[in-house]
Every structure is written in C-alpha cells, then in structure tokens.
Amino acid sequence: MLSEIFPAIASRGIPDYRGISLCKRIAEDEVEFVTSMWFDSFDSVRAFAGGNYDVAVVAVKARAFLKRFDSRSAHDETIVAPPFQL
C-alpha cells in the first residue's frame, strides 16, 4: 500500500509539497496510524485537498484497511522541522 499511495501523492506535482510521514502506535486492541504531510503554504494544502481542505483526504485503497478514520484534518504550522540539531 505504501509503495502505491505515497508515490501517487508525490507524482501529483503539488507545488511546495515537501513530503509525508506515517506514524503508528498500539492502543489497547487497535493500532492507530497518523500521517503528517508538509507543505510550504495553505495554498499548497488547498491544491492537494481542494477548497474544503479540512476534509480528510484518505485514499480508497487505504480506506479498505482502516476500521475508521477522522473525517476532518488538523492543520498545524511547523516551527522546527527535522533534521534539528543543536
């Protein structure tokens, strides 16, 4: 799945798209996944997600593996991005 979905996102050629990460954690009897995507501006987010960019973009193939997912996306401004060194 990752070998298809992540490259498909990158191949869309969204201006100022910087990448994606996938995190997981075991939560009682489930596994939770969180994806984070980096863009330089909200204009780039809109280019990826559309005008209503708060609606989560979840690939059809990913939906087949998920028990549930958030219907809304959260948007944060990155203050410090990796790699961070002192």
pTM of the model: 0.81
Q: Is residue 58 part of a domain?
A: yes
Q: Is residue 80 part of a domain?
A: no
Q: Is residue 32 part of a domain?
A: yes
Task: Provide the residue range defining the domain that includes 41.
Answer: 2-63
pLDDT attached to residue 3: 86
Residues 27-56 as b or e (16 or more Cβ within 10 Å = b): eeeeeeeebebebeeeebbebbbeeebeee
Q: Is residue 39 part of a domain?
A: yes
Which tens digits make up the pLDDT trace of 14-53? 999 999 999 999 988 999 999 999 999 999 999 999 999 9
Q: Is residue 8 part of a domain?
A: yes
Torsion angle of the four alpha carbons 47, 52, 58, 59, in this order, in degrees rounded to the nearest 10 = -50
Number of domains the chain is built from: 1
pLDDT attached to residue 79: 87
Checking if the pLDDT of 61 tops 90, the result is no
> Average pLDDT of 80-85?
77
pLDDT attached to residue 1: 64
CB atoms within 10 A of CB 26: 8
